[in-house]
A and B are shown apart, each in its own frame.
Chain A
Amino acid sequence: MDAYITKIKAISERLLKDGTVEAVIGFREGTLPTMSEPCFIKRSDDVKDLVWNANCRINLANYLTNRKEKIAIVAKGCDSRNIVNHIIENKIKRDQLFIIGVPCKGMNDKDTGALQDNCATCTHRNPVIYDELAGDLVEEQTGVDKYADVKKVEAMTTDEKWAFFNNLYASCTRCYACRNACPLCYCPTCFVDESKPQWVGKGEDPIDVRTYHFLRAYHCAGRCTDCGSCEAACPQNIKVRQLTKKLEKDCAELFGWEAGLTLDKRPPLDTFSIDDPNDFIK
């Protein structure tokens, strides 16, 4: 993976120098051994600050929302899928972007150093959209069970599920790091921040905490790429992907859909199809 950085720097320098882009979004070295910091490079002299390592876990598509400049962005598989989402959802234009694709073998958990849970079952390590690659494409994983944890919850009784989800969010402080690290969560005003009407209470009532998590997950249905930014960002190490994974699985089973793979199809939840598997909509 370290070999990529030479290429990333060379591409970035070239693009900034020849004026193809006004800025490059990538990562620079962190102050902790297990962290890298997203950065915005505008001068070709600063390209030297760019790094690439297993701590580049935050999804950089998050930083593209509504930008107006021409931008180069360093994108691993999941970032590229969220860039596709962003283009489909009119949050950025394709012709504004120069995508530096980075074939990825996974990011490490910042606390344990082990491969992140989402990376362990990732089947889209290679960028799905790019202008230039920082390295040779890697072999995609096959035969992984992406939904083993979801199936475990599905097999639970109602009481067990209730206890499981109560427990899951018990330490949540509603710092909203999961929401703010998510490239999908770009609403100008999130429903939890609205006051007229106020959809959710702002105290510590567990019902309000769970309402936030459940509703946020629903807003990601058919859009989530399982990039794992939410879990990587959570300071309380809450497994927030438990909900989005279930919706990802439902979208795969009901609509044969995986988010962010193509610019040519509308996501299933923002379009109508006469083949829709649900009867209520017909």
Chain B
Amino acid sequence: MMKIINIDKQKWAGGVESLSKSYRLFGPVKDVDCHNFKELKQGEQPDLSYGNTKLSPKSVVFPPSEAMFTYSLDESNPEHHILKDVPKDYSPRAVLGMRPCDAKAVSLVRMNFDTPEYRDPYWMDAYEATTFVGLACENPCASCFCTSTGCGPYNEEGLDVLLVDNGNAYIAKALTEKGEKLLASGGFTDAGDASAVDAKKAAAEAKITAKIETDKLSEKVIMDLYDAPFWHDVAFACINCCTCTYACPTCWCFDIQDENKGCEGVRMRNWDSCMTPLFTMHGSGHNPRDKKHQRVRQRFMHKLKYFVDKYQKGIMCVGCGRCVQQCPVNLDIRTVSKTMNDYVAKS
């Protein structure tokens, strides 16, 4: 049975302090002018008063840049040209106060990194080491549209604990064993009462008026959408930067790079973006997506059609609104989805 714990806000900071003894903690902290998820320093508290973070917390399990191997090109070294694992810290870590949309995004991304055929060791080891503590959204941003993506401001998917701000206290729902363990480790043991949650949830959901239209996407023929005439118009404004893909909690693409200094090298993987021509550049020099509209089409087709058809779990978007807010030229996934959803191919 799901455990409900009451966390008096007076006891929160002390609990975080206790947690820091058994977990590496990540939480929202304010940079210069925005919040982002960072590893908390000793004694640092997450700032749970934030609206949304500029970048999603996907970096906790999927860093923008991660060393995979080291190697030596020095042939006098008996182990030259052998890739060696980089030691990693997969001790327990916890994300405190992530938004439910970002948590659902983690479970969508897992479908890519954890399949019957392949298990991405870096992503999965980090994922399994992490306890995800969510914070329900009381005041969604104007550009949030999570309620029409199969998510919502109180969504529990992907979370181990959901915190609900209830004035002087947090109502903590332990959703998994991992979550129960974390609450116990923080010394949060007061039995709570979840009766206020349903009304608060309904109120938060009612505040979200922006929507994405996706209901007809699955019945469309892939090639009809692919060949649709609207892509040039959709893509015109796009400057092909990586703003949307880096801010997106569900974008998972990476690039592998070797970097040498003298004879010593590191093989790393870095976030990549389908918006850049380099993403699909072949060794031959041929580029199957060398035009802007092809790259823009790929991004939206992946999120709104290929993923829909492949997994039957809805769209690859949780409605966090970051790409909408941050796009320098106002390319809006909601508009594109509506265009795709409404499109009828000429027979």
Binding site for B on A (CB under 8 A): 30-32, 35-40, 58, 62-63, 170-171, 173-177, 179-181, 193, 201-204, 232-237
- Evaluate contact between A203 and B270: CB separation under 8 angstroms: yes
Whole-angstrom distance from the CB of B68 to the nearest CB of chain A? 12
CB neighbours (8 Å) of A38 from chain B are: 236-237, 329
For this complex, 11 residue pairs linking A to B, each with C-beta atoms less than 8 Å apart, are: A31-B330, A31-B332, A39-B233, A173-B55, A177-B241, A177-B243, A181-B239, A193-B277, A233-B328, A234-B328, A235-B328
- Evaluate contact between B268 and A175: CB separation under 8 angstroms: no
- Evaluate contact between B64 and A173: CB separation under 8 angstroms: yes
- Evaluate contact between A202 and B328: CB separation under 8 angstroms: no
Question: Which residues in window 285-333 of B have CB below 8 A to A?
Answer: 324-326, 328-332
CB neighbours (8 Å) of B330 from chain A are: 30-32, 35-37
Query: In this complex, what residue of B is CB-closest to A58?
Result: B329
Answer whether A232 and B328 are a contact pair too, CB < 8 Å, given A38-B237, A39-B237: yes
How many of chain B's residues touch chain A, expressed as a range?
A: 35 or more
- Evaluate contact between B237 and A175: CB separation under 8 angstroms: no
- Evaluate contact between B270 and A180: CB separation under 8 angstroms: no
CA distance in complex: A176, B240 (Å): 9
CA distance in complex: A254, B276 (Å): 37
Query: Is B34 located at the chain interface by the 8 A CB criterion?
Result: yes
CA distance in complex: A243, B268 (Å): 30
- Evaluate contact between A31 and B334: CB separation under 8 angstroms: yes
Query: Is B242 located at the chain interface by the 8 A CB criterion?
Result: yes
Question: Which residues in window 32-90 of B have CB below 8 A to A?
Answer: 32-34, 36, 54-55, 64-65
CA distance in complex: A63, B264 (Å): 43
1/0 per position for B249-273, CB-CB distance to A under 8 A? 0000001010100000000101001
Whole-angstrom distance from the CB of A210 to the nearest CB of chain B? 15
Answer whether A177 and B328 are a contact pair too, CB < 8 Å, given A202-B270, A204-B65, A235-B243: yes
Q: Which of A174, A176, A235 contacts B326 (CB 8 A)?
A: A235
- Evaluate contact between B329 and A37: CB separation under 8 angstroms: yes
CA distance in complex: A204, B243 (Å): 16
CB neighbours (8 Å) of B273 from chain A are: 175
